[in-house]
Amino acid sequence: LELRLIGPDAAIGTQQLEREQPNIRAVLEWSTTGLSDRARADLGLRLGGSLWRFWCTRGYLREGHRWLTDLLPAARGDDPTTAKARYAAGCVAEDLGEFAAAQPLYEQAQALWEALGDRLQVVNSLIALGSICSSRGNYTDARERFERALALARELNDRRTIAVALSNLGGLSWSVGDYAAAEAYHKEGLAIRRELKNPQAVSVSLTSLGLVAARRGDPDTAQKYYQESLETMRALRNPA
């Protein structure tokens, strides 16, 4: 399910899930009203753990938060489904600006993934925790987590996650005024995202490079990046 929300067909996957909202809500309601039934609870946790990206991009944050809050008490505590549901709850909480609530959820997910030996998901949790640190102005800890994530992603040769880590390091460098580093990180990430044919992520990298150019006093280059980003999103019929 979650794979439909990343990559070149993300816009199509999002539209399909939007159309399926009544059915999705019915399944989640069925699950949350029968948490004593292991199968029903697990189905709800798996579904909720896979929908966080959809809820965040479409603005269903409060709804997603409610479903995950209702479902998490049924989590077993030591399996991949629980780890994913806690991570998803952290993502929704972070997007709501509830950083104090998001951090322990990410930490719990990371601990579970480390115990399970899921190194790629450990990368995702490191990036998420770095994002929390950055949002709170703790740039030293944010950089440490982003750099660990990038190193592990390179070791795993997961191109998409490498680009995500680079994007976060670029954003952090921009925040502390290191525009040369920010440009280098974003350009490397942009190249990977073009290679992967992920237009939404390409647009994010282009916008980030525009912000860097603007801060460096180069409005013409900034405009070029912004224009390409806008055209990319228009081609996806994304009004954001």
pTM across the whole model = 0.89
Contacts of 105 (CB under 8 A, 6+ apart): 86, 87, 89, 90, 93
- DSSP secondary structure, 101-164, as one string: HHHHHHHHHHHHHHHHT-HHHHHHHHHHHHHHHHHTT-HHHHHHHHHHHHHHHHHHT-HHHHHH
Q: Which of 37, 42, 31, 39 is nearest to 66 (CA)?
A: 31
Q: What is the pLDDT of residues 103-142, one digit of tens each?
A: 999 999 999 999 999 999 999 999 999 999 999 999 999 9
Rounded CA separation 135/137 (Å) = 5
Residue 98 has pLDDT above 60, yes or no: yes
Q: What is the pLDDT of residues 127-186, one digit of tens each?
A: 999 999 999 999 999 999 999 999 999 999 999 999 999 999 999 999 999 999 999 999
Per-residue model confidence (pLDDT) at position 12: 78
Residue 42 has pLDDT above 50, yes or no: yes
Place 238 in a pLDDT band, splitting at 50, 70 and 90.
low
Give the burial string for 17-43 (b: 16+ CB within 10 Å, else e): beeeeeebeebbeebbeebeeeebbbb
